[in-house]
Every structure is written in C-alpha cells, then in structure tokens.
Structure 1
Amino acid sequence: MIKAERQQLIITHISKDQKVLLSDLSTLLNVSEDTIRRDIKELSDQGLVKAVRGGAISHSPIPLHFRDREHYDVSHKQIIAEKALRFIKDGQVVLFDSGTSALAVATHLPKDCKITAITNSFPVAAVLEDHATVEVIFIGGRLNKTGFSTSGYDAIRALSAIRADICFLGICSIDIDLGLTGIDYEDSQVKRTMVEHSKKVIALSTLEKIGTAEHYKICSSNAIDTIITDIDPAHPELLPYSQAGIEIV
C-alpha cells in the first residue's frame, strides 16, 4: 500500500471514530508504528488531523461562523439547554460565553428568572433583553465579526473583576488529555478567563466534539466540573471524563 492510500485510510478511520491509535493502525495496515507516526505528522502539518501521544484525533467538525453554527445541530442543543436549566437558581451570577449552545441555554431561561447574566455574546445579550428580572452585563472589547462577540484585553480585564457562580461554555473541542481547546486564539483567552473566575464550570458539548482538539488551549479537563451533553451519560465516549471525577449530565 502506498503512502497516499495509507494516509487516506487514517483520515477515514479518524472521521469515523474521532481518534486512532498508532498500535491499531500499525496492525491494520501491516506497517511499523514509526511509519504511522510519520504519516500522522504529515497529516497534522496539513491541518487534517491533530497528532497526540500514541495516535491522532480529529479536529472539531463545527462550522466557524456564528451564522452557520446557530443553525447547526439545533435539536441537540435544545436537549443540552433543557438539561442546563436545573443548575440555574435565582440570585446567581451566571457567565455565558459566545457559543451557540450557551445561547440555547439563555434562550430557554424562564421569563421570571432572577439572575445576573454576564456575557461577551451579542446574541445572548439580545435574547435576554426581554427578561425583565434578568440583569444583563455585557462585556465590551474588540468585535469578533465571525463570532458576534467581544474579545481582547478589555474583555479579559472586565472578566477578571468578576466571580461568577456558574459559567456555561459552549465548547468547540474537548479531549480528556488535551482539555478544552478552541479555534480562535483571542476567544480561547476569553473562555479561559471565564473558567478562572467561576465557582462552577459547565461545558456544553454535543457528542461530535468529544475527543477532538484544536490549536488553542482553554483549560485542562480537571478545570471542568460538569459536562452537559445530548447523549446518555453512560455513553462509552464519556467514560474517561466520569472516571476523572467530572459530572456527566
């Protein structure tokens, strides 16, 4: 089998299973692990996969622009949002990031909810405008035109002065070893600051984001208290997270 065929098979297996192991591919393709390691490095250099210790994982399949993400996987985000409501209590200070899953949670908030909502997301702030008993604090900064959100030094400085009860992160990618990662550098910095200034951090994730990774680190997996997902908490893909002490809902 020539190199191009091997690499295409590696991509196919990662697309199907989200991750591959050097040892498994070596056996499957009847080549050495060093050969597979070189193939994965080439694919990683091309941005097609993410090389990790012992194998490779896929990049997040989620669209980049907010307009595209808003209409992507809507029914699954509704499931996540409904589960998330149980964590919100009157009197809390709640951080919502710029993810569309966090927007879904904000959209499902009862009209009589009495919280202080802090966000860097224009859509989240707009959704909460007609919630008379929700105090909305919008975090200013540099406009991220693809994310309809703010980022940069001013946003980070404002968030650093806050101690929230809960932070809802609509994540891009999560891996038990690599933690939470994002596509955009500045947005990832904002999310990291939200994590650092929240008592409880809740990651909102559909199944396809589990076991994937991007370029910019947000936080380690052990910084997450709860993962709310659209699938059964007993799903095998979630087992490493529950074993690490993370609550799965």
Structure 2
Amino acid sequence: MLKEERQQKILHFLNDEHKVIASDLSKRLSVSEDTIRRDLKELDTQGLVKRVHSGALRVGPPVVDFSTRQNISNEVKINLALKAIDFIKDNMVLLIDGGTTNLHLVNNLPLSLKATVITNSPPIAMALSNYDYVEVNMIGGTLFKESMVNLGIDTVETLNMIRADLYIMGIYNIDPHIGISIPSISEALVKRKMVSVSTEVLAMVTSDKLDTVSNHIVCPSDSLTYLITEHVKPDVKALYANKGINVVD
C-alpha cells in the first residue's frame, strides 16, 4: 500500500471513529507502529490530525476570525441557541464570553428577560442593548480581534470579584478525556477563570467540534454542567454523559 493511500485510510478511520490508536492502526494496515507514527507525524504537520500519546484525534474546524464565523452553520447554531434558552431563568447572573453561537443565543433571548449579564465580548454587549430588563456589565481588557473578546490581566482581576449563576462558554474544541481546549493561551486562561467563578457551565457545541483538541487546555470536560449539541451517535453522547454532563441533542 502506498503511503498516500495509507494516510487517506487513517483519515477515513479518524473521521468515522474520532480517535485512532497507533497500535491498532498497525494491525489494521499491516505495517509497523513506527510507520504509523511517522504517518501521524506527517498528518499532524499538515494540520490534518492532532497527535496524542497513543495515536491521534480529529482536528476541529479551521480557526477563522469572528466575522467569518458569523456566516458559518448559522441554522445549526440558532437551533442550539434555542435549546439553551430553556436553561436561562429570570434574575440569574449570567457570564457570557465570545462566540458566534453565543451571539445567536443573545439575539434570541426573550425581551422580557430580567437578568444581569457579565461579558468580555463587545458584540454580546451591543446585542443586549435592546433588552430593557437586562443589566449589562462589560469586562475590560485588551481586545483580541480574532475572537472579539477582551483578554488579559485586567479581565482576570475583574473576574476575581464575580460569582455567576451560569457561565455560557464559547467552545473551540472538546474531547471527553483531554478536556476543553483552545488555540490561544490568553483566551484559555480567561475561560478557566470564568469556569472557576460560576456555579454552572453551559456550552453549545456543533458536532464538528466534538472529540477534537487544540494546544491549550481550559478545563476538564466534566467542568460542564450542560452540553447542548446536534444529534450525535449514541456512543459519542455516552462518552460525555458518563462524565456527569447533562447532554442535550
């Protein structure tokens, strides 16, 4: 079997199974584990997989700027947002960070909602300006233009003085075993702090982000209270449910 053909088979297995193990691939493809490790290293260098100790995981969707993401999978994101609204009650203190799905959620909240929203996302704060009964507290910091969120030491210091009922977290990558991860270390640190100051954590996740990993770990997957996602295979859903997460699909 040619190397290119073998690597395509690895990508096919990974797309179907979400994770591949080097020793298993060695048997399935009748080559040595060293050959498989070289394949995985090449595929990782090309950005097609994410190598882990025993094998590889899927990579998530491409990291693009906020304005570009606003035009991707909008119907799916709106459906996730509508499911998440059931978990938002009057008089809650909500912590909401950046993300286009989070923005869809805010745009679909009932105008009668009475709540306090704390956010480091200027687009989220602007969208809430139409809500007469929502108090909006904007967290400052240095604007990270790619994600349109404020980050930095000032952001973290402000969060030290906050206790939220529910944190609505924007997700880049999530794997049940490795946890929630993100490309930017500054954003990872802010998200980690947001988790620590919140009683419950909710995330809306499109299926292409499930079982994927990035470079900087935010927190374990079981830091989530609620995972709102699309219809997924029962075995994938079970991986998250077995972590004690309330999975809604």
Q: What residue number does 1:128 align with?
A: 128
Matched, 1:166 2:166: yes
Long gaps (5+) in structure 2: none
- Partner of 1:50, secondary structure, is strand
Taking only aligned residues, the RMSD between alpha carbons, in angstroms, comes to 1.8
25-34 vs 129-138, greater mean Cα deviation? 25-34
63-72 vs 44-53, greater mean Cα deviation? 44-53
Matched, 1:144 2:144: yes
Residue 185 of structure 1 and its aligned partner are, at CA, apart by: 1.9
Which AA in structure 2 matches 1:248?
V
- Partner of 2:204, secondary structure, is strand
Residues 175 and 221 of structure 1 are in contact (CA less than 8 Å); yes or no, is this contact kept in structure 2?
A: yes
Q: What residue number does 1:244 align with?
A: 243
How many angstroms apart in 2 are the aligned matches of 1:231 and 1:162? 34
**Share of identical aligned residues, percent?**
41
Q: What residue number does 2:48 align with?
A: 48
Long gaps (5+) in structure 1: none
Q: What residue number does 1:194 align with?
A: 194
Matched, 1:19 2:22: no
How many angstroms apart in 2 are the aligned matches of 1:51 and 1:152? 29
> Which structure 2 residues correspond to residues 75-86 of structure 1 after superposition, within 5 A?
75-86=75-86
Q: What TM-score does the superposition give when structure 2 sets the normalisation length?
A: 0.93
Which AA in structure 2 matches 1:196?
S
Q: What residue number does 2:111 align with?
A: 111
Residues 50 and 57 of structure 1 are in contact (CA less than 8 Å); yes or no, is this contact kept in structure 2?
A: yes
For these two proteins, the number of residue pairs brought into alignment is 248
- Partner of 2:217, secondary structure, is strand
57-66 vs 148-157, greater mean Cα deviation? 57-66
- Partner of 1:56, secondary structure, is strand
Which AA in structure 2 matches 1:32?
S
12-21 vs 170-179, greater mean Cα deviation? 12-21
How many angstroms apart in 1 are the aligned matches of 2:78 and 2:57? 27
Residue 4 of structure 1 and its aligned partner are, at CA, apart by: 4.1
